[in-house]
Amino acid sequence: MTQFVLPPRPPVAAPVAGTPARFPVRRVLCVGRNYAAHRREMGGDDREPPFFFAKPADAVVAADDAGDCGTVAYPSATADLHHEIELVAALGAGGQDLSPDEALKLVFGYAVGVDLTRRDLQAGFKAKGQPWDAAKGFDASAPLGVIRPAEGAPPSGRIWLSVNGQVRQDAAVADMIWSVAETIAQASRLWRLEAGDLIFTGTPEGVGPLVRGDKVEGGIDGVGALKFVIG
Ligand code: MN
């Protein structure tokens, strides 16, 4: 057995509906600009296809079995933290260069996630052509709800997020530019996907700022809900 000079860290353990067993998070891939109305609110070009970025696996803040992520610390180095509610696909198997039909077969389940974003840093990086890592992949930047094992077609219904009880984002997952199947197929051309990978599939319009003390709730029809407080 391999000996390590430091104790290896266990993976982030995400809750799964209907079982006390946890989902081990391996990697977090995210899609940018996968809803047309959000692409427009971010000043994007309608002809520009969605694209990928990543967060470290340990950016995930796993919920408890009731979908409560507890307190999420307001991050350093920003004055404009934004919420982005997203459908997350959790992969139970791997593969590469897949067709959309093949890609969908990798999905273990779906969850509600929030892609927290340092919007001010992101705007600066965009202007300078610099990478987004510090705007997107910071500590605790990916609150994640309970994973619901997949049954049949991917979710397509309402996706919403509220702050202190006021709805900020309210759209339909069916309005995605790349479907869940297409998103995973596209990712599989860029990376060899593996069991444990999470894919955040993009946010609809209505993103906006969060401040300390805000109570954030979000949900997706047929998937579940999550909540957390900005601390
Ligand atoms: Mn996002």
> Tokens for 7?
């104790």
Q: Report CA(19)–ligand 1 centroid distance (Å).
A: 28
- Residue 81 located in a structural domain: yes
Chain CA centroid to CA 119, Å: 16
**What is the Cα Rg of the chain in Å?**
17
How much is the average pLDDT of 70-76?
A: 98
- Residue 15 located in a structural domain: no
How much is the average pLDDT of 25-53?
A: 92
Q: Report CA(3)–ligand 1 centroid distance (Å).
A: 38
- Residue 100 located in a structural domain: yes
pLDDT on residue 3? 96
Per-residue pLDDT tens for 161-203?
999 999 999 999 999 999 999 999 999 999 999 999 999 999 9
- Alpha helix segments (H runs only) across 175-221: 180-190
* Cα separation of the two ends of the chain: 42
196 contacts 182 by C-beta, under 8 angstroms: no
How much is the average pLDDT of 133-150?
A: 98
CA 132 – CA 88 distance, rounded (Å): 20
pLDDT on residue 169? 98
- Partners of 83 in the β-ladder: 208
Q: Report CA(198)–ligand 1 centroid distance (Å).
A: 13
pLDDT on residue 179? 96
pLDDT on residue 142? 98
Q: How big, in percent rounded to 5, are the helix, strand and coil portions of the chain?
A: 20, 40, 40
Q: What is the mean pLDDT of the chain?
A: 97
- Residue 4 located in a structural domain: no
Q: Report CA(68)–ligand 1 centroid distance (Å).
A: 20
Q: Report CA(53)–ligand 1 centroid distance (Å).
A: 9
- Residue 6 located in a structural domain: no
DSSP state of 102: H
**Local structure of 12: helix, strand or coil:** coil
Q: Is the pTM above the cut of 0.75?
A: yes
CATH number at residue 119: 3.90.850.10
Domain count, the chain: 1
How much is the average pLDDT of 133-153?
A: 97
**Local structure of 212: helix, strand or coil:** coil
Q: Report CA(4)–ligand 1 centroid distance (Å).
A: 35
Chain CA centroid to CA 51, Å: 14
Residue 211 pLDDT > 80, yes or no?
yes
Q: Report CA(6)–ligand 1 centroid distance (Å).
A: 34
Per-residue pLDDT tens for 79-125?
999 999 999 999 999 999 999 999 999 999 999 999 999 999 999 99
67 contacts 226 by C-beta, under 8 angstroms: yes
- Residue 194 located in a structural domain: yes
pLDDT on residue 47? 77
46 contacts 213 by C-beta, under 8 angstroms: no
CA 143 – CA 112 distance, rounded (Å): 9
pLDDT on residue 86? 98
pLDDT on residue 46? 79
Percentage, residues of the chain above pLDDT 70: 100
**168 lies in which domain range?**
23-230
- Alpha helix segments (H runs only) across 80-155: 100-104, 119-128, 133-136
CA 213 – CA 230 distance, rounded (Å): 5
- Residue 11 located in a structural domain: no
